[in-house]
Amino acid sequence: MDLKERLNRLTSLTKQEEKSKSQVLSELRQRLDRVFEPKKVYRKRESVPIEQLVKGKIVSTPHGETFQAEECYPADFRCGEVMLSDILNIPTYPAHLLSRDEVLRDLDLRKTLFLDTETTGLTGGTGTFVFMVGVGFFEKEQFHIRQLFSRDYSEERASLSILNQLLESFQFLITFNGRHYDIPLLETRFILSRMSSKIREIPNFDLLYPSRKIWKGAYENCRLVTLESRLLGMERGDDIPSEYIPTLYFDYLQTGNAMNIHRVFYHNQMDILTMVALTGRIHLVYHDPQAARPRKGVEHFALGRLFWDHGFFDKAIPCFEVALRRSDEDLSWEVMKWLSLAFKKTGQAERARSLWEEMVTWNRRQDTFPYVELAKYCEHRLKDFEKAVAFVDQALEQISSHHGKEFELLHHRRKRLELKRGGHAQG
């Protein structure tokens, strides 16, 4: 066999091997497709189908069928203390300040999709199935809620395709903890379904974070249902707790009986309506605290800190003053610290000094703050180094050497004041 024949033979073997590899890969892809293809759960005949209990329809898509429910609320529908039409008139500029996200500067509720999901698990993850996607949006003067419900695992792609179409029509999203739960979870479901989506790209105003900034400490927690009842004045009827919802869906898959799962539609609708009301409340309380009438001192205090951080000093001081009148003794100490520093920052030194002098008379003094501030006041404004040293000494009496850094700083301040006092005496 000459060299040419040998080369031809090797080339032929290589082509056969490539063909063999290609066949193996093709067969492997087909097997994976069969494994991951959503399977219809075979169950007993439906005793009460969902369409008999929930107002909606079965929708056909290129990806199969799914069930879609829809509710429409008029402009005068009340979400607790506020009507839907009023919410549209509240300025939304606070969104980008509270979230520190410039893309929300132009938030427009008429171009916003409110989104909430119901799933088979509360922690998320690849194995968590989104069986309901609820969305709400304003259209003209009405508010619409659509709920995409997968009656079976095989209907997920149809639900996701409808959601994708809706996302194309809106510029913003509003969620509650959607940043870390709903959005990543839906993104995962799109990927597993081999569908592209821009859901991660749409600016999302997540209400959980501004809610915590404003109402943390005002109520036992900042869960949506807590804010709904305690803050917004909304009441739910025959609702189902969130932790029971996955079990209801698994039971529905096995039996096909919608007698229990239909209650989840009401739960999801209420979550979306609460998000709408909370959106209005967050923007109103920031835009016009007097009109919003915060109920507790802690709310005024939180607003004051937010205004201060954002440079709105003229709005911060009134909030601190109201907070001081409505707070208990523990919170009052913190409020007086912030209010006195606000006075100091805005050139109202005498008003600040008055607060510091009041704080040192308290029986339950909590730290050395007023003594240090009075020492600074005496040093820099009065040039009375004797009094300044006396206030530092009183501060040192409030703490022990175990306070480390603070103890060291006070001693350093005292030494510096002693030198100034000595120099002043010699002069």
**Pair (282, 315) in one structural domain:** no
User: Domain for residue 147, yes or no?
Assistant: yes
User: Domain for residue 228, yes or no?
Assistant: yes
**Pair (124, 212) in one structural domain:** yes
User: Domain for residue 405, yes or no?
Assistant: yes
Distance CA(372)–CA(359), nearest Å, equals: 12
| Residue of 242, 260, 264, 243 lying closest to 252 (CA atoms) | 260
* pLDDT score of 15 more than 60: no
| 3-14 per-position pLDDT tens digit | 666 656 656 555
Mean pLDDT of 239-260: 94
**Pair (207, 329) in one structural domain:** no
- Domain termination residue (choose one: 267, 289, 311): 289
| 326-344 per-position pLDDT tens digit | 988 779 999 999 999 999 9
**Pair (205, 113) in one structural domain:** yes
- Domain termination residue (choose one: 252, 268, 289): 289
pTM value? 0.84
User: Domain for residue 352, yes or no?
Assistant: yes
User: Domain for residue 250, yes or no?
Assistant: yes
Cα maximum dimension of the chain: 115
User: Domain for residue 7, yes or no?
Assistant: no
**Pair (173, 294) in one structural domain:** no
* pLDDT score of 47 more than 90: no
Mean pLDDT of 144-161: 97
- Quote the strand ranges of 186-254, DSSP E: 204-206
What is the pLDDT at residue 189?
96
Side-chain-side CA neighbours of 221 within 13 Å: the count stands at 4
Token duo for residue 314: 């003229």
Sheet holding 56-61, edge to edge: 56-61, 64-73, 142-149, 130-139, 112-119, 172-175, 204-206
User: Domain for residue 253, yes or no?
Assistant: yes
- Domain termination residue (choose one: 270, 289, 308): 289
Pairs from 40-43 (Cβ < 8 Å, separation ≥ 24): 40/152, 40/153, 40/154, 41/152, 41/153, 41/253, 41/254, 43/253, 43/254, 43/255, 43/256
**Pair (207, 356) in one structural domain:** no
Distance CA(372)–CA(380), nearest Å, equals: 12
| 253-298 per-position pLDDT tens digit | 999 999 999 999 999 999 999 999 999 999 999 999 988 888 889 9
What is the pLDDT at residue 46?
45
**Pair (360, 276) in one structural domain:** no
**Pair (98, 219) in one structural domain:** yes
**Pair (98, 81) in one structural domain:** yes
Q: Are 342 and 321 in contact (CB under 8 A)?
A: no
User: Which structural domain range is residue 221 located in?
Assistant: 50-289
| 341-391 per-position pLDDT tens digit | 999 999 999 999 999 999 999 987 779 999 999 999 999 999 999 999 999
**Pair (281, 325) in one structural domain:** no
What is the pLDDT at residue 303?
95
The CATH number that applies at residue 322 is 1.25.40.10
**Pair (191, 329) in one structural domain:** no
What is the pLDDT at residue 157?
97
User: Domain for residue 41, yes or no?
Assistant: no
**Pair (191, 203) in one structural domain:** yes
* pLDDT score of 18 more than 60: no
Return the amino acid letter for 349: A
Distance CA(37)–CA(20), nearest Å, equals: 26
Total domains present in the chain: 2
| 155-183 per-position pLDDT tens digit | 999 999 999 999 999 999 999 999 999 99
